[in-house]
Amino acid sequence: MNQSFDIAVVGGGIAGASLAAEVAAHARVLLLEAEDQPGYHSTGRSAAFWSETYGGPGVQPLTTASGPILTDPPEELGGESFLKPRGELFIGREGDTAALDAFIAEFADTGVALERVDPHMMLPGLRPDWVQAVYEPTCMDIDVGRLHGAYLGLARRRGVTIVTGAGLEEARREGGGWTLRTRAGDFAAGILVDAGGAWADAVAAAAGVPPIGIAPLRRTMVQLRTDPPMASDLPLVRDGADLFYFKPEAGGRVWLSPHDEVPDEPRDVAPEELDVAIAIDRFEGAVDWRVEAVERRWAGLRSFAPDRLPVYGFDPAGDGFFWFAGQGGFGIQTAPAAAALAASLLTGAAWPDWLRGVDLARYAPDRFR
């Protein structure tokens, strides 16, 4: 006889782990992870920053609402802040004025702090042609591993059954619930939650639910050793055209990305040498630091719905099928808000007061049906 649960969550990254922990206060929960350890893919390859502007105005309410929880988490999540001050500097050349003005205008009514600054006062070694900048002082570093671990720990303490090596092969709707066939055995659940990240459409297909068109896009990261080393107190730096970003890491290292979005397949992706070379070329066009070595390189998949907003809610075309996907590269920084709002939808629990500024309708899956 199959083990039976109220809710089965497919995907053990930050999305699935946070949601499983939230709903376990109200339901019997199964968390299925295809890999041997949760967080192997996108969660474990994050650039590890929290930025209220990242993802655009449609994502900002989720990020802003999550900030206080990440800054002052409850004791059940460890009670110690997951965020550390960093700051974010958007740099531009002479011809980027319109783009930076438009960026500021996008967030004019959100309460996000943005200010015009002289970039050369904030970034030593910046090349002369970068003459303007916008500064976002609220940007923070985020301890991704500890946050993910805290949610997994809370899930276990609340009785969530976590099964690894359990890739979903088939889900059938039978008798008002789901029968789930996985590589680790068979299970039953009343509700099936798709937190599959880059595999979200594949999970839906396995359940006979029409896909939404959630597309995996490859993002490249490299760790550099430079001369001079990058000072630990410098901000995260992004160019106004979104062609690169870089930030300080331990030991004076630099984490750098060409901000690429290359269509790919759900898989264990690796960086392409061309993308690494493009990243370094763009970096050297911004600062006069010498690149001494590329010490690490990796890639991850960021998955987006067609409108680049996350998808939260029951699918009108699939009875008992709940989407929790399409979270791009912002799933970690929005995890507390996303998990809380989805838990309310799944369990009927009261809508938290701290989510009053979030418009759930903009994330509902019926916008694609």
**Residue that finishes a domain, picked among 277, 304, 331:** 304
Contacts of residue 85, Cβ cutoff 8 Å, sequence gap at least 6: 140, 141
- pLDDT, one tens digit per residue, over 279-324 is 999 999 999 999 999 999 999 999 999 999 999 999 998 799 999 9
- Indicate the pLDDT class of residue 95, thresholds 50, 70 and 90: very high
Task: Specify the pLDDT at position 156.
Answer: 98
**Residue that finishes a domain, picked among 248, 282, 304:** 304
- Indicate the pLDDT class of residue 1, thresholds 50, 70 and 90: very low
Q: Is the same domain home to 106 and 224?
A: yes
Q: How many CB atoms lie under 10 A from the CB of residue 216?
A: 24
CATH classification at residue 333: 3.50.50.60
CATH classification at residue 261: 3.30.9.10
Tokens standing for residue 251 = 């030991």
* 52 lies in some domain: yes
* 59 lies in some domain: yes
Contact 341, 289 (CB under 8 A): no
* 77 lies in some domain: no
Rounded average pLDDT over 46-53: 91
Rounded average pLDDT over 222-232: 97
**Residue that finishes a domain, picked among 275, 304, 333:** 304
> 3-state DSSP call for residue 244?
coil
Closest by Cα among 313, 309, 303, 304 to 343 = 313
Q: Is the same domain home to 130 and 225?
A: yes
pTM for the whole thing?
0.95
Q: Is the same domain home to 155 and 48?
A: yes
Dihedral sign, Cα of residue 9, residue 13, residue 14, residue 15:
negative
Q: Is the same domain home to 155 and 300?
A: no
Tokens standing for residue 312 = 């939260």
Tell me how many domains the chain contains. 2
Q: Is the same domain home to 220 and 342?
A: no
Q: Is the same domain home to 173 and 221?
A: no
Q: Is the same domain home to 98 and 40?
A: no
* 48 lies in some domain: yes
Beta bridge pairs of residue 180: 171, 187
Q: Is the same domain home to 350 and 273?
A: no
Contact 216, 268 (CB under 8 A): no
- pLDDT, one tens digit per residue, over 159-196 is 999 999 999 999 999 989 999 999 999 999 999 999 99
Least confident of 29-43, 100-114, 215-229, 270-284: 29-43
Q: How many CB atoms lie under 10 A from the CB of residue 159?
A: 11
Q: Is the same domain home to 225 and 290?
A: yes
* 232 lies in some domain: yes
Q: Is the same domain home to 314 and 338?
A: yes
Residue that is written with structure tokens 């996985």 in the block: 182
Q: Which domain holds residue 189?
A: 4-66+144-214+306-368
Nearest 5°: CA angle at 48, between 44 and 52? 130
- pLDDT, one tens digit per residue, over 105-131 is 999 999 999 999 999 999 999 999 999
* 298 lies in some domain: yes
